[in-house]
Chains A and B, each alone.
Chain A
Amino acid sequence: MSSEDIKNTIRYGVGIDLGTTHCVLSYVELYSDQDPAPIHVLPIPQLTTPGSVEEKNQLPSFMYQAHEAELAESDIALPWDGKPETIIGTIARELGSKTPIRLVSSAKSWLCHGGIDRHASFLPLNSPEEVPKVSPIEATFQYLMHLRNAWDFRFPDTPLVNQEVTITVPASFDPAARDLTAEAAHRVGFKNLILLEEPQAAVYSWLESNSDSWRNQVSIGDIILVVDIGGGTTDLSLVAVTEDAGNLSLNRVAVGDHILLGGDNMDLALAYQINGKLAQEGKNLAPWQILAITQSCRDAKEILLTDPEIHSVPIVIPSRGSKLLGATLRTELSKEEVMASLVDGFFPQVGIHDHPAQQARSALKQMGLPYAQDAAICRHLAAFLCRQQAAANDFLGENQGDFIKPTAILFNGGVLKAPVLAERMMRVINHWLSEAGVDQAKLLAGTDLDLAVAKGAAYYGAVRQGKGVRIRGGIASAYYVGIESAMPAIPGMTPPIQALCVAPFGMEEGSAAKGPNQEFGLVVGEPVRFRFFGSTTRRDDEAGTLLDYWEPEELEELPEIQANLPAEGRKPGEIVPVQLASRVTEVGTLCLEAIPFDGSAKWQVEFDVRAS
């Protein structure tokens, strides 16, 4: 084989966990002699301070827009690039902690924010005009580029773009956010790219690490609830265990809403508690001190939640100047405080009917991330289980009662590494189950909660080669476009809207759907916008189903979508009758197309409507 051939062969399954706060890359050899082939995590070289490069398993998802007078050229050199144009990773987070106006963060949350033009360059948000801005897609692209460079530096003979690459996205990502992630990845140049839902990746990691025993741990009729609490988001999924030709088969039957609530909120909650305590003692803190407390609280929280012997941890805030003695603030964080604000605040023992207050839709229009208003993760979970009451009916028969009853729980994300929080979560769920008169759920163990998503994604590469069980699922939502009904105008009343199903629930990769001839008139040369809806509960609507009426919680309105017919060969202003067709690409993104009746061409409908 020539060296060129080697470069072009797929040798590794690579999983990239593109997290809100951290990225992780793991890989597995696809044609290994070892069975099972070991999964490795790539140590990622990155700047930690000016001039010093370290390898770390996690690449913090931050980008720093340095001022030209801030850093010497030689201080930002990377092993593969003497003069990188962007500053990414640990150093970006560190520099940004002192100069937040130049720090790009949470790009992933912005990708899923429909109220803004995600191609527009607006990060860092609200910073002075002279700070160069990037779009969330650009930031995502830069993180992936760093990973690509790190990989190619380590494995020059097998470039990353040629490997089987799986990038994970939250299960709750809408079609636009998936599209944009794929767009950033395509710009990096990946040739074999697949998107995989994070909770599914966690399940794959569990399957991989229990390859001998998982068939004994779950059985037909089981419903696995995946609770993934990361740094910035909480992601929920349900997987039903069924039988297919004598083998156990896994089906992802439901996913939860996009909840911007995670471990970072917990650290902040503790920091503000300490801040309040110090304020009572007459000590007022500067912003940099609150930041320092947040960091100390993160460490203190981990100690207090894991070690039952320790009842309080000192929190020390050193001075900023070189005088350390006398200027250092000291206080304490006690176990009771942590239990009260974290365990009872984020994981309260609520009833199954105790749900978070509905967030007003107007939040979408605000410039700022739509953080969850109710911090109680248990309430979000209760709402999810109630809403998905019928999720597994197609597989496991009619479910009695008000909510779907998981029989097994899989945890993921750093937050649930704390035994106290994991136990509380289990207790709350089991309380709901025993109230409903069913057996307690069991905890599925044996995964590394920090690295499971990346590892599971790498393993998915091997699964796609036919080595192991594949989770079936398809798209976790049905999609609808809004059509204003033709009815006589009544003063003071907006015409009621109907919803036309364009993509049914559960469409699998590579499949397409086209409803009966529902006709739309598109104006040539002018963008036409549609209202767009998604439903994670209406499982039976087929493409072409027209809804006149639905319960408010059944359909969620998503950002508008837009069809733009180029004027080629047609008169601008002309109205062309088209039909909407949908398909799910091999990558795992949804694609909506407007097809004219004469079949002459087709135009893609954009999910991310750009500011015009």
Chain B
Amino acid sequence: MALAVEALEVRYGGIRAVRGVDIEVGDGEVVALLGANGAGKSSTLLAIAGAIRPYAGRVRLDGRDVTGSIPERMVRAGVAMVPETRDVFPDLTVEENLRLGAYVRRRDRADVEADRAAMFALFPRLAERAEQTAGTLSGGEQQMLVIARAMMSRPRLLLLDEPSLGLAPTIVEQIFAMIARLAATGLSILLVEQNVGKALAVADRAYVMRLGRIAAAGPARELAAAADLKEHYLGG
């Protein structure tokens, strides 16, 4: 078991954004976390990544309790987070952004160099723009950059928050093709998405969140076939 989230609760002041969520992501598994805006998906992801401290519940990695760890420790434990805000460092070059992604393993220079070459091979657009500042990239290129940057830490679990948000359909295709390729390498992925069709196509299993709780869960194929799914995730 790569990741186990048990009875997770996140509160912002008096607002209970996440109300007792259980999620499991197995080794090499791609799990989608679906739901409407405000269902608590991003909060769940941020709590796993250590960016916000959970109010209650447990987060375990390979059985080890990592609840409430600081974000830098989670990266070292093998968890990489790609937030929906697509936070490139705008005044750093693409190359510098990638170099920072490898911060936790900056001493294996040869390996980092090899990984960067691999990322440039995977995302040729980034290679062309290696010396440009990240702020000058298009939205799709920035999304590729944050995914590539997260991969530079050689994570075992990738947390992806809405990678298709606000991107043109052709770019969305490319991003999901990329996710499938990363999944094929044996990486565990927890994917938050509003694009349900695409997410279920790439995922092994899925959870549907509604008002801070898990409303449905199951194999991606079964959920895709369920007629009432749209009502669930659209918050109907």
Q: Do A and B bind each other?
A: no
